[in-house]
């Protein structure tokens, strides 16, 4: 399963796949990696996928991969590609993935870990009981068709209008928790069917909810901008658009596979099926994808509401008294029309981020007012039991990576290899030793998501910081993990 | 006992299915998918009829597998057995099937994992040197 194609080292943290590697490549492939990470990157077919993405029509500059890159389907996970709508550029649903707007949100509390150590078991039990998780898990909200249509247009704001949050939550979400241009009519009845009872559910696989403690502060602005200092409790939520998004992707791919011959598009992998950005098929996909993205923001908003309720119950205080403010919410599976500098001129490009996070630098108008003088917060979850990080975006990311950075640790071991080679009780023992409480719907998920199945998050972060595309703010240590 | 092999994949899960008959490829792939999701074999109290189209056999296979996922996620229907007929007309391949199975409540005991979708990545339906059909599918899990 290893990859033996050409990877030329061009700097300490950058490797290149030359366009001559494949005759259909129109641009080069660039992988951000350290020497240590590049060894694991060669262990699967992810670099081949970087080369495949370099073949999609209208791609500009390069096909990029972040240091958490691993083998996905179509695009690599950790892949970034920008296409030019005015030069035959396409949009590819496979460049977003099935879990549209899978993403992460981080909220703070004013609790100090040392004051609440004895409450952690109670908190873990309360969160596990109150937050629906696991396969096909259903939320506590049942949406009528009419309500679902409103939610698709307004995203997290619709839930806030119903009392499940406050306006400040929206200010601290990428896109303020809803993308303009969503169209409920672009979504199939089948997607409504799959999504109507899943708002406020975590799902399974790598999705999780984690109570963490700020373990190390690297940048003193952590206190000024985020109100975070060492010892403080935070909560991270990782989930996406659930069955709704999977169905939107499925419907769109089916249509785009059909229009490959119509638009005379030839690709090395059918999962990269695309349509020209200005086509009817692309417009419909974009409107449906935005609806699914808004669904995901609403889902994470409801999950955060359930977390706040659990904290209120355990600590017997209102969430406002506990200062459980949303720090930020980022999408890491999405495509967006964004303005970037290309050949010295500002141009609108369609940026696909498949397992990659937007990372805008200081002063960018898209960054919420609160963080404009700092840079956009970037939230990077680690694997179960390992550290997570809060970082900020940079000007260099805007210049080099279409303002993108990594999204997590990145897998190295397949789910089957992880569940066959690891021992459940030893793994639980190791997690207990690290003082991590784990609650999960099934043993299999715990084994498949074991830290040994992932790359070293610290090395991934060292690479994005070393290459200048993000800057570390603080490190977060897991205390309770709730998994589906 | 489902007759299929797993294909190693870093993030997701793949299957390889072999048969002399194309209908059997569809049937075995469906059974493989169900066995990846659930570890129960319910009765055959319920029936469903499906009609699925594709531009070619691989496309039809993906559409059929995603139809099974849709039936599972919207109505908890688990297929146990099926009668399949495959047809062709210009530019289109069609599967019609009568599915037998049951509706059940997912629980920690009877569920193995969530499968988001059957993908087109590295999708194959080919003939091997013995003339058998070999299909490979990667699922997003």
Which pLDDT does position B89 carry in this prediction? 92
Q: How far is A83 from chain B (nearest CA, A)?
A: 21
CATH topology for B5-140?
Archease, Possible Chaperone; Chain: A; domain 1 (3.55.10)
Is the Cβ–Cβ distance between B100 and B82 less than 8 Å?
A: yes
- Cα A313-A314-A320 angle, rounded to 5 deg: 65
User: Could you tell me the mean pLDDT of each successive run of 10 residues in chain A, 484 residues long?
Assistant: 92 98 97 96 94 98 97 94 96 97 98 97 96 80 90 98 97 97 97 93 91 97 96 98 97 94 94 96 98 98 97 98 98 98 95 98 94 97 93 98 96 84 90 91 82 92 98 97 89
Q: Is B42 on the interface with A (CB under 8 A)?
A: no
A165 vs A160: CA distance, rounded Å = 5
Pairing, β A28-32 against β A62-70: parallel
Which pLDDT does position A314 carry in this prediction? 98
Structure tokens at A373: 């003088």
Structure tokens at A81: 């590609």
Q: Is B37 on the interface with A (CB under 8 A)?
A: yes
Interface test with B, best of A133, A250, A269, A483 (most B CBs within 10 A): A250
Query: Which residue in the list A70, A238, A305, A407 is annotated as catalytic?
Result: A407
Q: How far is A423 from chain B (nearest CA, A)?
A: 17
Burial degree of B110 (CB within 10 A; 0-12, 13-18, 19+)? middle
3-state secondary structure of A188: coil
Judge whether A407 counts as a catalytic residue. Answer: yes
3-state SS record for chain B: CCCCEEECCCCCEEEEEEECCHHHHHHHHHHHHHHHHECCCCCCCEEEEEEEEECCHHHHHHHHHHHHHHHHHHHCEEEEEEEEEEEEECCEEEEEEEEEEEECCCCCCCECCCCCEECCCCCEEEECCCCCEEEEEEEEC
3-state secondary structure of A270: helix
Which pLDDT does position A481 carry in this prediction? 95
Interface contact flag, A135 B114, Cβ < 8 Å: yes
3-state SS record for A96-155: CCCCCCCEEEEEEEEEEHHHHHHHHHHHHHHHHHHCCCCCCCCCCCCCCHHHHHHHHHHC
Interface test with A, best of B114, B124, B125 (most A CBs within 10 A): B114
Which pLDDT does position A346 carry in this prediction? 95
Q: Is B121 on the interface with A (CB under 8 A)?
A: yes
Interface contact flag, B13 A243, Cβ < 8 Å: no
Number of H helices, E strands in chain A: 16, 19
Residues A351-366: tens digit of each pLDDT: 999 999 999 999 999 9
Q: Please state the ipTM of this predicted complex.
A: 0.92
Per-residue pLDDT in tens (0 to 9) along chain B, 141 residues: 568 999 988 878 899 999 999 999 999 999 999 999 988 777 888 999 999 999 999 999 999 999 999 999 999 999 999 999 999 998 899 999 999 999 987 776 777 888 999 999 999 999 999 999 999 999 998
Q: Is B129 on the interface with A (CB under 8 A)?
A: no
CB atoms within 10 A of CB A141: 20
A25 vs A182: CA distance, rounded Å = 33
């Amino acid at each position: 399963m290893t990859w033996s194609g050409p990877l030329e080292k061009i700097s300490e943290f950058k490797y290149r796949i030359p366009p001559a590697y494949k005759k259909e490549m129109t641009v080069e492939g660039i992988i951000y990696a350290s020497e240590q990470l590049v060894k694991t990157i060669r262990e699967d077919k992810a670099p081949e996928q970087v080369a495949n993405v370099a073949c999609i029509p209208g791609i500009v500059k390069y096909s990029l991969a972040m240091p958490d890159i691993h083998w996905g389907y179509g695009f690599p996970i950790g892949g970034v590609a920008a296409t030019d709508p005015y030069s035959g550029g396409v949009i590819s649903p496979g460049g977003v993935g099935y879990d549209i707007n899978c993403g992460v949100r981080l909220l703070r509390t004013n609790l100090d870990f040392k004051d609440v150590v004895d409450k952690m078991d109670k908190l873990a039990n309360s969160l596990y009981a109150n937050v629906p998780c696991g396969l096909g898990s259903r939320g506590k909200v049942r949406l009528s068709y009419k309500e679902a249509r409103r939610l698709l247009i307004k995203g997290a704001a619709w839930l806030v209008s119903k009392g499940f949050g406050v306006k400040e939550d929206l200010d601290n979400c990428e896109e303020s928790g809803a993308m303009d241009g969503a169209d409920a009519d672009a979504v199939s009845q089948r997607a409504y069917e799959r999504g109507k009872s899943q708002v406020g559910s975590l799902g399974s696989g790598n999705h999780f909810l984690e109570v963490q403690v700020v373990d190390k502060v690297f940048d003193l602005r952590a206190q000024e901008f985020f109100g975070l200092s060492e010892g403080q409790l935070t909560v991270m939520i990782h989930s996406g658009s659930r069955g709704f998004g999977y169905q939107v992707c499925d419907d769109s791919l089916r249509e785009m596979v059909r229009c490959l011959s119509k638009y005379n598009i030839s690709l090395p992998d059918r999962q990269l099926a695309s349509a020209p950005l200005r086509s009817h098929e692309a417009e419909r996909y974009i409107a449906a994808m935005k609806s699914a993205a808004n669904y995901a923001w609403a889902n994470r908003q409801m999950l955060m509401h359930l977390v706040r309720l659990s904290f209120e119950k355990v600590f017997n205080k209102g969430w406002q008294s506990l200062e459980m403010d949303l720090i930020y919410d980022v999408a890491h599976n999405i495509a967006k029309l964004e303005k970037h500098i290309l050949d010295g001129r500002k141009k609108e490009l369609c940026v696909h981020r498949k397992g990659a996070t937007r990372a805008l630098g200081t002063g960018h108008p898209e960054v919420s007012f609160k963080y404009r003088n700092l840079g956009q917060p970037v939230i990077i979850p680690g694997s179960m039991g390992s550290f997570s990080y809060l970082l900020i975006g940079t000007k260099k990311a805007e210049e080099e990576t279409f303002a993108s950075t990594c999204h997590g640790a990145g897998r190295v071991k397949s789910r089957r290899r992880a569940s066959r080679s690891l021992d459940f009780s030893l793994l639980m023992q190791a997690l207990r030793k690290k003082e991590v409480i784990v609650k999960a719907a099934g043993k299999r998920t715990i084994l498949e998501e074991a830290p040994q199945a992932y790359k070293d998050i610290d090395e991934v972060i060292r690479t994005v910081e070393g290459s200048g595309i993000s800057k570390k703010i603080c490190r977060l240590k897991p205390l309770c993990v709730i998994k589906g | 006992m489902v007759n299929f092999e797993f294909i190693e994949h870093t993030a997701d899960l793949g299957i390889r299915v072999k048969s002399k008959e194309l209908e059997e490829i569809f049937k075995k792939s469906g059974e493989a998918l169900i066995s990846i999701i659930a570890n129960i074999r319910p009765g055959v109290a319920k029936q469903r009829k499906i009609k699925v189209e594709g531009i070619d056999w691989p496309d039809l296979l993906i559409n059929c597998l995603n139809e099974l996922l849709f039936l599972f996620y919207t109505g908890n229907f688990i297929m146990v057995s099926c009668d399949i007929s495959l047809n062709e007309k210009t530019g289109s391949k069609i599967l019609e099937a009568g599915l037998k199975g049951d509706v059940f409540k997912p629980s920690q005991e009877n569920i193995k994992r969530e499968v988001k979708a059957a993908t087109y990545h590295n999708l194959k339906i080919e003939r091997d040197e013995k003339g058998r059909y070999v299909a490979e599918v990667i699922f997003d899990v």
